[in-house]
Amino acid sequence: MGMKTLGRHLVVEMYGCRSDLLGDLSLARKSLNEAVEACKATFMGEHYTMFPGGGVSGVIIIAESHISIHTWPEHGYIAIDIFTCGEHIDPWKAYEVFVKNYSPSRVNVMEIRRGVVEV
Amino acid sequence: MGMKTLGRHLVVEMYGCRSDLLGDLSLARKSLNEAVEACKATFMGEHYTMFPGGGVSGVIIIAESHISIHTWPEHGYIAIDIFTCGEHIDPWKAYEVFVKNYSPSRVNVMEIRRGVVEV
């Protein structure tokens, strides 16, 4: 009996982003949808929220788990999670979309293996 | 100038759960909503999906980020993310709800500090 991993989860921290981009709900929505397309995931549903302080939150549920974004314009900071399962999905393709759209000056990414199970 | 952390993120792996519980969409919805209440977060929106294989996915966007669940009944495995910001929210209170509702035989939790910024 062997082991396999069901999913991969990129925990992405982006710093030094332009504040005006981080308050832009349509950019967040565009980025999430582009990210889903880039990694060839399957869109299932989405939800977005804008906050009084100017930050935005968004998540897309994909057939392969989820991709989410939360922004803090006052800190130039974005928290992104790219959680995908399945062997044909490359979460790093989704990651590249956010780098392109937000041009962070500093990034920290942790890749976590989710669901280590017996097969 | 000091540093502070904007959010706390619990990456939760639950193994050895009963398959019938993992295919129960209403239990997933109830658990997410109870979790939001338990940690005194503010509900902003939710989305759920049920898969042909029997798994369920759900996410609640909270004012303090998000809580999500993805289940794999065939492996008795659940992936839960509890990402909260703000000093008055304790993500571990939300965690306890999932343990109570799914009775995993084995759990692995990683707590990640999100958004380390200058203040």
Condensed to tens digits (0 to 9), the pLDDT of residues B10-33 reads: 999 999 999 999 999 999 999 999
Whether B1 shows a pLDDT value over 80: the answer reads no
Closest chain A residue by Cα to residue B43:
A49
Is B57 noted as a catalytic residue in this protein?
no
Residues A65-106: pLDDT tens digits? 999 999 999 999 999 999 999 989 999 999 999 999 999 999
Considering CB atoms only, which of A47, A63, A83 is closest to B45? Answer: A47
B-interface mutation test, from A15, A36, A47, most B Cβ less than 10 A away: A47
Q: Which of B9, B31, B65, B66 is catalytic?
A: B65
Tell whether A31 lies on the interface with B, counting CB pairs under 8 A: no
Residues A8-48: pLDDT tens digits? 999 999 999 999 999 999 999 999 999 999 999 999 999 99
Whether A1 shows a pLDDT value over 80: the answer reads no
Question: For residue B70, how many other CB atoms are within 10 A of its CB?
Answer: 28
Q: Which of B85, B88, B103, B105 is catalytic?
A: B85
Give the domain ranges of chain A: 3-118
Q: Alpha-carbon dihedral of residues B89, B93, B65, A14, nearest 10 degrees?
A: 90
Residue B98 CB contacts under 8 Å (≥ 6 apart), including other chains: B12, B14, B31, B35, B69, B78, B80
Inter-chain residue contact A75 with B6, CB threshold 8 Å: yes
Question: How open is the CA angle A119-B10-A78, to the nearest 5 degrees?
Answer: 110
Tell whether B103 lies on the interface with A, counting CB pairs under 8 A: no
Q: What ipTM, to 2 d.p.?
A: 0.95
Q: How large is the average pLDDT for residues B87-103?
A: 97
CATH of domain B3-118: 3.60.90.10
pTM beyond cutoff 0.95: yes
Residue B53: the pLDDT is 86
